[in-house]
Chain A
Amino acid sequence: MAEFSAELSRRSLLTGAATAAAATALAPAVPGQAAAPPAGKQAAGIYRYKVGDIECTSVNDGARSFPMPDTFVRNVPKAEALTAAEAAHMPKGMVTVPFNPQLINTGGKLILIDCGLGAGMLEPSKGAVGRMMGNLAAAGVQPKDIDVVLMSHLHPDHTNGIRAADNSMAFPNAEIMVPAKDWEFWMSEDNRAKAQSNQMMKDYFANVQKIYAGIEDKVTKYDWDKELAPGVTSIGTPGHTPGHTSFVIASGSAKVLVQSDVTNIPELFLRNPDWHVAYDVDPQQAQETRHKFYNMAAAEKALVVGFHFTFPSQGYVEKDGAKYRLVPIAWNPVL
């Protein structure tokens, strides 16, 4: 048999492909012998998990890969940030940021935590983002069934999805709940005036005020440490924004932490908790919050859901010296 046994060597792997490709090229498919047509599209980005009696669904809004801006990480050289991105096999020179709202069915209430960039972004982004409504439909959920839209903070990738592409309310029957401290901060004309020299902040203020224009009186402001819906409690984790909020979802003895943006992408900012992402309002406070939150999550061995973790956006945090590492969950094919 020796003559048949291909010695596995680096060379055989490297040449193997070329040989195979050449062989394919020599034997082009004739029309009658074509395989079934390719599907040409991805599976829906939905994944269910249970927290005690509560059924949760991670509902992907898409992901965006873009050339890493020079100051994507404010306090380290770009080269260092790019090295971390490459170690995570992101496309060369780029950074990939996914977006994952969570649907919580408590049995009595259907709650959507954060709602993505909005269906209006689907076309301009060529389908990269704004996918949440399609994925909700794939999950069998109708927009009118959502009882509560719960915002972790008022950045566009979390809040803009309350509006449909035609600017009407995407969830017509939902109560919209926002963190009181973020509302106060972003709706303040004083703060807005002070931010005019900073393009990013200027845009953020303009966005919040545009998205909430005309519905100000329909919005419920919530405080931290409150049970906002059965089993869903708000936890203050400020820094990223002044009112940035995480949530504990608990039922029976089960619990998960919905961390929102305590870190942006874990490949950079969970591995390097002292790195400051460009989008933080108060980077130093965000860093302190990060350490507090992850020390706790690691000690508790708590399941953490991250808005910017790769879909299905869940994992456990383990300490690795002064850093942390995300241990992604193993996908469970059965609920």
Chain B
Amino acid sequence: MAKLTRRDLLVGAGASLAVGSKALAGVPVAGKQVPSFYRSKLGDFELTVVSDGARPIPLPPRFVLNVPNEEVLKAAEAAYMPKGTVFAPFNPMVVNTGSKLVLIDTGYGPIAPTVGLLPQSLAAAGIDPKSIDIVLISHLHGDHINGIKKPDGSLAFPNAEIKVPAEDWAFWMSDENMAKAPEGFFKASFGFNRKVFGDIKTRVTVYQWGSEVAPGITAVETAGHTPGHTSFVIASGASKLFFQADVTNVPDLFLRNPEWQVMFDSEPEKAVATRKRVYDMVSAEKMFVSGYHFPFPGLGWVEKVGTGYRLIPAAWNPVL
């Protein structure tokens, strides 16, 4: 006979008979999270997801352009995000190809207490910033580029070649475009680009879609989120990973509802079309996918469910 009753769970420890109230100091609590990095093998390559942190975004009046916040919050709550917020993680990735150490995207920098953690995640993973050969940027938003510089303005990865998508470089570095940009997120994004790249333009290499931007890493056009938004196919031997960058923002909202247009999209309708094209493909091919804003470590597969999609997170592998 199961003795389990609803009351048990409701009352639970409510029946607090201070058992074991020995005046023991006990072992002190750790009081902090473990470093958030995770490794995965991809053919001969070694991948390390290095978290830059996560933050609950309090919803601005229009977080999703074509859906009322009420509905957005319902989806957020169904995913057990902190009440009234959308929980957004940031997952840069290091690819060790054997010949090059490549960092894809660099995090937000310390703009809030729970983000800008990339330097400590790298340190915990034993990766020296000086050993990064290539910093590969998917698109020129602050949460992907700010980590290129330390808070003091010096280069965080002093020996790295910095590679950015040509279309985004042209768009975000244009003063004419900046003058036209609406206040708020878009204006701020132009500002981030000037702050990060203003005095290091000569160190930046622009790359084109379809080219091999690092050994085994091919840039793939997935525009819409920004004009030059790029995903990467990382391939070694028979293994392959589709680094989707921001084809969706958080999957609980935008993979489940691919028509939803997040306020950060430069060309929202194009982003929707790109999203469907990418996910129809990766679901049909059962491709291994990584998402910058997926819950850490952000690796998994996409399955088609009706008119939307669902993320199947990869099981944590305790052994590399």
Q: Could you list which residues of chain A lie within 8 angstroms of chain B, going by C-beta atoms? A: 1, 4-8, 10, 12-14, 16-21, 23-24, 27-29, 33-36, 38-48, 55, 57, 60, 62-63, 87-90, 96, 98, 105-110, 127-128, 131, 138-141, 145, 147, 224-225, 227-233, 235-239, 246, 248-251, 255, 257, 285, 288-289, 292-293, 296-297, 299-302, 310-312, 316, 318, 327-335
Min CB–CB distance B225 → chain A (angstroms): 14
* Cross-chain pairs A/B with CB under 8 angstroms, 10 sampled: A13-B220, A20-B217, A33-B99, A39-B320, A89-B301, A106-B26, A108-B25, A230-B20, A248-B12, A255-B12
**Docked CA distance A312–B51 (Å):** 16
Task: Tell yes or no: B15 within 8 A of A by CB.
Answer: yes
Which residue of B13, B25, B319 is within 8 Å of A62 (Cβ)? B319
Is the beta-carbon distance between B97 and A35 smaller than 8 angstroms? yes
Task: Report, nearest first, the 3 A-B pairs whose CB atoms are least far apart.
Answer: A6-B210, A29-B99, A250-B13
| A239-B2 contact given A327-B80, A330-B81, CB 8 Å threshold | yes
Is the beta-carbon distance between B39 and A21 smaller than 8 angstroms? no
| A108-B21 contact given A57-B30, A302-B9, A331-B297, CB 8 Å threshold | yes
CB closest chain-A residue, reference B295: A330
**Docked CA distance A4–B32 (Å):** 47
Which residue of B2, B13, B32, B296 is within 8 Å of A289 (Cβ)? B2
Q: Which of B144-152, B187-195, B262-270, B309-317 contacts A (4 or more CB under 8 A)?
A: B309-317
Chain A residues with CB under 8 Å of B67's CB are none
Interface centre among A141, A236, A332 (most CB of B within 10 A): A332
Chain A residues with CB under 8 Å of B284's CB are 10
Chain A residues with CB under 8 Å of B105's CB are none
CB closest chain-B residue, reference A299: B6
Task: Tell yes or no: B172 within 8 A of A by CB.
Answer: no
**Docked CA distance A236–B9 (Å):** 11
Is the beta-carbon distance between A35 and B9 smaller than 8 angstroms? no
Q: Which of B126-134, B173-181, B197-205 contacts A (4 or more CB under 8 A)?
A: B126-134
Chain A residues with CB under 8 Å of B17's CB are 227
Which residue of B32, B215, B219 is within 8 Å of A335 (Cβ)? B32
| A13-B208 contact given A107-B29, A108-B22, A224-B3, CB 8 Å threshold | no
Which residue of B8, B124, B274 is within 8 Å of A235 (Cβ)? B8
Which residue of B39, B53, B78, B236 is within 8 Å of A42 (Cβ)? B39
Bitwise, B279-320 to A at CB < 8 A (1) or not (0) is: 001001111000000011100010100000000111111111
Is the beta-carbon distance between A24 and B281 smaller than 8 angstroms? no
By DSSP majority rule, is chain B's interface helix, strand, loop, or mixed? loop
Task: Tell yes or no: B123 within 8 A of A by CB.
Answer: no
Is the beta-carbon distance between A293 and B4 smaller than 8 angstroms? yes
**Docked CA distance A236–B2 (Å):** 6
Which residue of A20, A227, A296, A311 is within 8 Å of B212 (Cβ)? A20
CB closest chain-A residue, reference B3: A236
Chain A residues with CB under 8 Å of B48's CB are 39
Is the beta-carbon distance between B13 and A231 smaller than 8 angstroms? yes
Chain A residues with CB under 8 Å of B236's CB are 21, 24
Chain A residues with CB under 8 Å of B218's CB are 16-17, 19-20
Min CB–CB distance B59 → chain A (angstroms): 17
Q: Besides the contacts A8-B220, A128-B318, A239-B2, what 5 more A-B pairs have beta carbons closer than 8 Å?
A: A4-B209, A21-B216, A35-B101, A38-B98, A302-B9
Give the residues from 20 to 51 in chain B that come closer than 8 angstroms, CB to CB, to chain A: 20-22, 24-27, 29-39, 46, 48, 51
Is the beta-carbon distance between B220 and A332 smaller than 8 angstroms? no
Chain A residues with CB under 8 Å of B318's CB are 42, 45, 60, 62-63, 98, 128, 131, 311
Chain B residues with CB under 8 Å of A288's CB are 2
Is the beta-carbon distance between A10 and B2 smaller than 8 angstroms? no
**Docked CA distance A90–B2 (Å):** 32
Chain B residues with CB under 8 Å of A297's CB are 9
Which residue of A13, A140, A296, A312 is within 8 Å of B285 (Cβ)? A13
Is the beta-carbon distance between B37 and A43 smaller than 8 angstroms? yes
**Docked CA distance A277–B33 (Å):** 34
Chain B residues with CB under 8 Å of A48's CB are 30, 32-34
Min CB–CB distance B262 → chain A (angstroms): 17
Min CB–CB distance A29 → chain B (angstroms): 3
Which residue of A17, A88, A310, A331 is within 8 Å of B36 (Cβ)? A331
Task: Tell yes or no: B278 within 8 A of A by CB.
Answer: yes
Task: Tell yes or no: B143 within 8 A of A by CB.
Answer: no
Chain B residues with CB under 8 Å of A33's CB are 99
Chain A residues with CB under 8 Å of B272's CB are none
Is the beta-carbon distance between A6 and B209 smaller than 8 angstroms? yes
Is the beta-carbon distance between B281 and A328 smaller than 8 angstroms? no
